Amino acid sequence: MTDFNTIRQFSFPTIIRFGAGAVKELPAHLLANGLSRPLLVTDPMVSGLDFFKAIKESLTAKSISVEVFSDIHKNPVKSDVLKGGDVYKATNRDCIIGIGGGAAMDVARAIVLRINHHRDLFEYDDLIGGDQYVTEAVPYFITVPTTSGTGSEVGRSAIISEDDTHRKRILFAPKLMAKIVFADPLLTMELPSFITAATGMDALTHNMEAYIAKNFHPMAAGIALEGISLINESIVNAVNKPDLASRSKMMIASLMGAVAFQKGLGVVHSLAHPLSSLLDTHHGLANAVNLPYGMRFNAPGLETEFKRMALTMELSETTGEAVINHLFELNKQLGLPTRLRDIGVKEEHIETLSDLALADFCHPNNPKPVTRNDFKQLYTEAL
């Protein structure tokens, strides 16, 4: 029962320029804001692609000095951020543009924090109250997503791991939100099918977990349902027969998932994060495999919520089991595995994974409590 005598705060993100060709507006936007020396933060793969080279050329054609930083891991670590901050200062940059998927966005946002905040990076960890130290001005920050998964382009946080233990830390502050997002679905058209599938299931996980998260946020819940609908109608085509419509729907649904999960995430993300930390598993793939099992854990007692998700997905039956079966089938249609053993997990990993999952920051917002034994059983079931 919701207590309507409790005062709550809701907030929603920044300006989003969305549509085919939106990235072409980037040079004019920089110049209109008196900016001419951007640091482009991306990952090693994106830095070599034709569309990235075209973005650079569009900037230099307007006499904008471009510096690129792409020396980052696929699961970013603290040293990535420190190196990027050094490049920003050494080359006298005046703004930061994150271009890519979640890794590039996380590193770019953490560099934004790092420039004028000089404590140890992890003293700003939100889980230990570090947001109170985010008090200084930050560089002008722009994001350009090239995948439809994390939705990090509209976020206010960065997940960065420790170099040695790979423990994930979360850096959060409202001022770390991008001033503007250029969301151009054309930039996703050349993505390989596996990346499209894994990142797309990441976006679906965000929307589904946000919808059932225990916090009261009806605006975020409504956005999550529409995100689920858009992904359900477009992800198979986006992976197997990509066209502008399917890739556009996936990109906007990814943005919506990241807006929605300010309501919270849950058990699936707490199952997935340790796979990235321990085994360097792609985050979207880890979510994809764990999603049906996590939703099966949550379904009892949430019949109303699962019925609404089933209706949103236009399933013939409106039960929790129908939703779960649909998720297994969706992974198969996308060419993704349905068992952890197929992504390198072994029985001897389960104890360590269970410890890491219990320590994760997402499951406290799950609609029902999750114990270490629950995590162990879920990993064992998914193996």
Query: Given this model, what pLDDT does residue 13 score?
Result: 74
How does pLDDT run across 209-245, given as a tens digit for each residue?
999 999 999 999 999 999 999 999 999 999 999 999 9
Report the distance separating Cα 81 and Cα 106, nearest Å: 9
Report the distance separating Cα 22 and Cα 16, nearest Å: 10
How does pLDDT run across 105-138, given as a tens digit for each residue?
999 999 999 999 999 999 999 889 999 999 999 9
Report the distance separating Cα 39 and Cα 272, nearest Å: 31
* Token pair 């590193």 in the structure block, residue: 107
Query: Given this model, what pLDDT does residue 102 score?
Result: 87
Domains, the chain:
15-188 (3.40.50.1970), 193-382 (1.20.1090.10)
How does pLDDT run across 300-324, given as a tens digit for each residue?
999 999 999 999 999 999 999 999 9
Query: Given this model, what pLDDT does residue 9 score?
Result: 61
Report the distance separating Cα 149 and Cα 235, nearest Å: 11
Query: Given this model, what pLDDT does residue 10 score?
Result: 60
DSSP 8-state class, residue 175: G
Tokens of 69: 């930083």
Query: Given this model, what pLDDT does residue 298 score?
Result: 98
Residue 106: name the closest of 139, 131, 75 by CA: 75
Report the distance separating Cα 94 and Cα 33, nearest Å: 11
How does pLDDT run across 93-102, given as a tens digit for each residue?
999 999 998 8
DSSP 8-state class, residue 71: -
Query: Given this model, what pLDDT does residue 163 score?
Result: 87
* Residue 166: pLDDT band with limits 50, 70, 90: confident
Report the distance separating Cα 326 and Cα 66, nearest Å: 46
Report the distance separating Cα 147 and Cα 100, nearest Å: 7
Report the distance separating Cα 161 and Cα 220, nearest Å: 28
Report the distance separating Cα 249 and Cα 229, nearest Å: 10
Report the distance separating Cα 216 and Cα 222, nearest Å: 12
Residues facing 143 on adjacent strands: 98, 181
Query: Given this model, what pLDDT does residue 75 score?
Result: 84
Q: Is the pTM for the entire model greater than 0.75?
A: yes
Compute the C-alpha angle 254/260/262, nearest 5°: 120
Residue 262: name the closest of 3, 1, 4, 9 by CA: 9
Return the amino acid letter for 246.
S
How much is the average pLDDT of 15-36?
Answer: 95
